[in-house]
Chains A and B, each alone.
Chain A
């Protein structure tokens, strides 16, 4: 046995295999299997899409949480930095004030009404304030002495001398402006007066200042309410650091300002969420624990920002929590739109109960996302349905086309190589062929029988004709043997027979004997003889033999010319 012989191609085996492979059952199995596999694959892919789509909500919530964490961290970090810088600034300026007062053996109250001392003090701390402002991400820095340049003026108790320097814009290279303070000092240091400059700060403009001053402790950090800086549209949150002398005398206050423009620009969040609004809300005027739907935060008490891609829509009017979806998730509305978002308390510079952060997106965005999910699922189902239909259509065509083709070939009597044909169709072809052959054989046998019958008929007809001719010949011969007149008399006499006589006559002609005639007619022999005599008499004959002879002649003539038919 050679290697080649082992793998030698066996045409018969190959043909069997091909036939098997081409069989309808195998084809149907293959197509069904492929269809099922495709549908399962499509279903799995669709399922994964659907799961992905449905997970968008979870991803969205996770994004909100992540954004909240980042925003809260940014805000905390920003204010922690300001707190640290503020404490340093307070220590530094406290020391400068203390030194100035000690050198002149003065107290803080003794510099009231002294333009010179206040100017000198402002000059001495100017660089510190300016430096801290430039070092930090704040929109302004200030130092107010607990003194005024003119105690004789109305409202002098609320007027405090000091420096208030602001950045004109959040840019790092922004120019500085002197909002409060002695203009000459500002100009000397290239800080020009603000458009709405005033010499001193009116503490009445700072909500809660008197209460804060009473409770302030050395080294502490506090926040003002968010309020609009007089003369501007800037809403500001001030960080306040009290200044105390070693003996506990209140010297004044320094701190930083964070205004809404600055907050908006510096806190803008990089995000994947569309239309993000981040809010830092001062909630100490909106106590926790209110029933849902009653928690209201005035936008005036908030600082807010958008995203770094430029989107920002400030909350308008009152932000009302309309529904708490969970501990953190809320639905809320303002004057122009409704939001979905999360909120949590945020600890700023040691104050853990004062502020809340909100991460909000317009509710329509969320609805759109949900709708899109539904639409995606619907679309996926539609695509799957289409795919299933297309597959069914494709496979049914693939499956049916060869059958239809074969039937067409069958209809057109085309011959095909059986190896190329579907085996079942080939078998059908074979079966039909056998049936046709059987039918042909039966037809042939029937044709032979018909032919034989035809021949027999022909032979019988021929014999009949022969017999007929013989009969004619015999009639003719008999006719010649009988007396024509007697025969004519016989024929004429037939019409004179009564019904009974005719009946008896015909019985005689049919070969019946006298006994049979008597039984059949239920008559006596005498009656029969009576009728016989009448018949003989009317026909002019004298014996049964003569009667039968004339009758035979008459029948022979009738078969030729159909005479006497009316008699019978």
Chain B
């Protein structure tokens, strides 16, 4: 018996020595610093330019990532629309599309197309207390089929950017001031006046024209613009809202931006543009003309104009945009690693710093409120955040439609209108009936975004 006991003890010791060699499990976390897990990451912050997100990723990799065994590898930077298309292409396995990233930024509509069941449910990694620290509306936007698939990182709104140097000259000559740009009526009058003043140059390039039409119609009092996932083209308020924009398009007072309004402002093609608050990251501080002379942009940033005759009890509306972060559901280690990264990324202080470098607003309640007192050194950024504060304190944020295919349809409309623009202008200058021309644009709107004929 004694010998048997000794033998058992010997075997136990051997097992005790051997088991750690055979197993690397330790604690609850499955992350292992000596076996780092790599997460490929597609994001939309700083496309083409110096990306603050890349700096954050580098900082994460060198600190928390190194400690916990997580490496974030940014393999694509682009805009949300392109990332969305590439994600769908990758999921379908289209040739040349590459493989799906582990982490990516996209709109809830894209996430919906990818399938919520294929994405990590963030609520499994965030306690209710943690979720309560985020702005409710931002979290709610990312819930698809009762799963929190799209986690808010930062949000943006749309703003009106104005080349201050050019506008000051225009103002001095015409008396039209920035206050004229508070309402759409005033805006379009200024645009018409500018075209006249500048001998035919358009006043403003629009990145997301449909969003402006949509919000204008909402402010005018109709909240039922969409039926069965499509714009209701029989809606008179929507028609009326479009007409304001359509008329300006036909006259050449405004244009659909080539790609981004800010590049057309940089080349002096237009003195104003509407775009995301995050576009501030991409603005040059000078305008360059064809003879290579330059002048300071002196960028002024304003809230978007509002409807002239809003419904009595409605507050001005502002679009709430911005992607959220999703993680592809693969294995539990990657999901945990993604959760660590998202927790780190959205910590209040870091979230505020990141947002304020990129023209976004943060997503935690604490950081969201801190914007009001945040000191900005750069005048362009100060101008952007002054506008954001105005919007935040005076407007009601409205999430924009992100139904399946909405972005693709609007892009199709913009492409069509962009190609029609020169002809419409020519025909208008040749004396064609502006109403007929405007109706053509409305037909294109309905063709792309209205109910299908089937």
Contact = CB atoms under 8 A, between A and B. Distances in A.
Given A171-B98, A265-B75, A197 B62 contact: no
A231 B50 contact: yes
Contacts of B96: 171-173
B77 interface: yes
A379 B21 CA distance: 8
Interface in B262-309: 262-264, 266-267, 269, 282, 284, 288, 290-293
A515 B75 CA distance: 149
Interface centre among A261, A309, A335 (most CB of B within 10 A): A261
Given A169-B78, A192-B263, A233 B21 contact: no
Interface stretch (A310-318, A405-413, A428-436, A442-450): A310-318
Given A316-B62, A386-B11, A196 B38 contact: no
Contacts of A298: none
Contacts of B66: 336-337
Contact of A275 (B36, B61, B78): B36
B58 to A, nearest CB: 7
A376 B260 CA distance: 60
Interface in A178-229: 182-183, 187, 192-200
A153 B17 contact: no
B263 A194 contact: yes
Contact of A309 (B21, B38, B262): B38
Interface centre among B38, B96, B97 (most CB of A within 10 A): B38
A149 B48 contact: no
B40 interface: yes
A554 to B, nearest CB: 80
Interface in B71-115: 71, 73, 75-78, 82, 86, 96-98, 102
A122 to B, nearest CB: 12
Contact of B14 (A172, A175, A382): A382
Contacts of B221: none
Given A195-B49, A309-B38, A313-B71, A159 B260 contact: no
Contact of B18 (A193, A382, A393): A382
Nearest to B284: A196
B338 to A, nearest CB: 13
A385 B13 CA distance: 13
A378 B263 CA distance: 66
A312 B258 contact: no
B51 A313 contact: no
Given A232-B49, A368-B34, A159 B78 contact: no
A375 interface: yes
B122 to A, nearest CB: 22
A150 interface: yes
A496 to B, nearest CB: 87
A233 B54 contact: yes
B207 to A, nearest CB: 13
A375 B61 CA distance: 30
B73 A312 contact: yes
B40 A150 contact: no
Contacts of B50: 231-233
A148 interface: yes
A313 B69 CA distance: 12
A261 B86 CA distance: 17
Given A169-B78, A199-B288, A233-B54, A193 B267 contact: yes
A177 interface: yes
B292 A316 contact: no
B2 to A, nearest CB: 14
Contacts of B54: 233
B292 A199 contact: yes
B344 interface: no
A521 B77 CA distance: 150
Contacts of B38: 306, 309-312
Interface centre among A196, A368, A376 (most CB of B within 10 A): A196
B429 interface: no
A231 B48 CA distance: 9
Q: What are the 10 closest A-B residue pairs judged by CB atoms, nearest first?
A: A233-B50, A192-B259, A195-B282, A193-B263, A195-B48, A311-B38, A375-B21, A150-B292, A312-B73, A310-B38
Given A233-B50, A378-B21, 12 more contacts: A171-B86, A183-B269, A192-B259, A193-B264, A194-B263, A196-B284, A231-B50, A306-B73, A313-B61, A314-B58, A336-B62, A378-B17
13 contacts: A115-B291, A171-B76, A193-B267, A194-B48, A199-B288, A233-B50, A233-B51, A233-B54, A275-B36, A311-B73, A313-B61, A314-B58, A393-B7
Interface of B: 7, 10-11, 14, 17-18, 21, 34-36, 38-40, 46-51, 54, 58, 61-62, 66, 71, 73, 75-78, 82, 86, 96-98, 102, 258-260, 262-264, 266-267, 269, 282, 284, 288, 290-293
